């Protein structure tokens, strides 16, 4: 039987080489760390986000005997009303001034027509107060599209990484809702390919100078992560490196962690993507029709979380300078008129989340 990182972390001190433990989301009851979002989906998805009690009673949220947490969707009944029952959880805690977010997943959703799963950070004003999409894709995508979004001028450029640079303008007010984005390029980083290897670890380091994301297959998780003393300086070439021209600590404000599984909506259900996905289009004329009438298609659409432990840097040698526009008040975007932008790898053309008006 494979060991879980969480089992090792539970036995180690909370002081890390460069980081100190801030939160353990599987300690003290997983649900106690989150708010359950139950409003209508801000991205117009065919989804019914349910509360904690409903999620537990209907089997969408449960804790396994090994301590892992299952977070899934209804894969039994036809969709009704607002759409297919699912869960969207938002951390009660807000994060500022960076950190290291390490998640060990035994399984992730992905690869199913109509699905739009995401693991991400976002501020209270949508992308105008910053957003980092760490895991996100739609429909039959086989790779992960990571992105950073800001409300002010901010760009990235090509860096040493295994992912493929897609877009370079992070400012949603000039570059559109795409933000700056990097495709993982490997089918083992997302969905079925990720799950075929018994999952793995995503580690996201946010510092003032940028965001760096690593992915480690189960068989190649660094010893320092397993030991509970993560040191990103030892991890080698990352999956994605967003070295930004702006100070991200001033652009990522009051960030909440979010995990959700959406359906259709402004991204997966956009005709630009649905109509150009031959697998999905051949099964239903629209995304909503497919998701409503094919519950069994979503039996593998779930997160299985072994551990999630954000940490904080101990060496705060970087001091961001005060902003010149201290009276700046971000306002939520309304972006339902956006035009999707094709990606550079033309055999696969998704665009990042369109929920900047959340």
Candidates 52, 90, 136, 166; catalytic one: 136
In a domain? residue 57: yes
pLDDT at residue number 315 = 62
Indicate which CATH number applies to the domain containing 163.
2.60.120.200
In a domain? residue 85: yes
In a domain? residue 328: no
Domain count, the chain: 1
Rounded Cα distance, 22 and 292, in Å: 40
CB atoms inside a 10 Å sphere around CB 78: 11
Active site residue 339: no
Candidates 22, 131, 250, 299; catalytic one: 131
User: Residue 39: is it exposed, middle or buried by C-beta count within 10 angstroms (0-12/13-18/19+)?
Assistant: exposed
Rounded Cα distance, 296 and 75, in Å: 5
pLDDT at residue number 19 = 84
The domain of 93 spans: 5-313
Bridge partner residues of 118 (DSSP): 136, 260
Phi, psi dihedrals of residue 230, rounded to the nearest 5°: -65, 135
Contact between residue 48 and residue 82 where contact means Cβ atoms under 8 Å apart: yes
In a domain? residue 352: no
In a domain? residue 334: no
Mean pLDDT by 10 residues, the chain (358 residues): 41 50 93 98 98 99 98 98 99 96 99 99 93 98 98 97 98 90 98 98 98 98 92 97 98 98 98 98 98 99 98 61 35 35 39 42
Active site residue 22: no
In a domain? residue 302: yes
């Amino acid at each position: 039987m494979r060991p879980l990182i969480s089992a090792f972390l539970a036995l180690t001190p909370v002081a890390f080489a460069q980081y100190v433990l801030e939160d353990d989301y599987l300690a003290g009851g997983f649900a106690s760390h989150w708010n359950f979002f139950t409003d209508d989906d801000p991205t117009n998805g065919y989804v019914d986000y349910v509360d904690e009690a409903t999620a537990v009673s209907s089997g969408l949220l449960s804790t396994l005997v090994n301590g892992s947490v299952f977070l899934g969707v209804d894969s039994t009944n036809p969709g009704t009303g607002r759409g297919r029952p699912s869960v969207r959880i938002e951390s009660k805690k807000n994060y500022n001034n960076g950190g290291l977010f390490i998640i060990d997943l035994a399984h992730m959703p992905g690869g199913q027509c109509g699905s739009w799963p995401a693991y991400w950070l976002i501020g209270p004003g949508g992308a105008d107060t910053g957003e980092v999409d760490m895991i996100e894709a739609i429909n039959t995508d086989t790779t992960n599209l990571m992105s950073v979004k800001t409300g002010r001028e901010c760009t990235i450029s090509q860096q040493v990484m295994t992912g493929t640079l897609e877009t370079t303008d992070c400012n949603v007010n000039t570059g559109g809702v795409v933000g700056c984005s990097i495709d993982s390029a490997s089918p083992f980083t997302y969905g079925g390919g990720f799950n075929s290897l018994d999952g793995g670890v995503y580690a996201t380091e946010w510092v003032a100078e940028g965001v760096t994301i690593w992915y480690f297959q189960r068989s190649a998780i660094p010893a320092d992560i397993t030991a509970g003393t993560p040191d990103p300086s030892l991890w080698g070439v990352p999956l994605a490196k967003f070295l930004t021209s702006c100070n991200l600590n001033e652009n990522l404000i009051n960030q909440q962690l979010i995990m959700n599984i959406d359906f259709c909506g402004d991204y997966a259900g956009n005709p630009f993507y649905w109509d150009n996905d031959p697998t999905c289009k051949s099964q239903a004329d629209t995304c909503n029709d497919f998701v409503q009438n094919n519950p069994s298609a979503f039996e593998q659409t779930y997160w299985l979380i072994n551990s999630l432990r954000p940490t904080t840097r101990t060496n705060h040698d970087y001091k961001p300078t005060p902003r010149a526009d201290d009276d700046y008040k971000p306002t939520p975007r309304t972006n339902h008129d956006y035009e999707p932008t094709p990606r550079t790898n033309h055999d696969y053309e998704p665009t990042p989340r369109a929920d900047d008006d959340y």
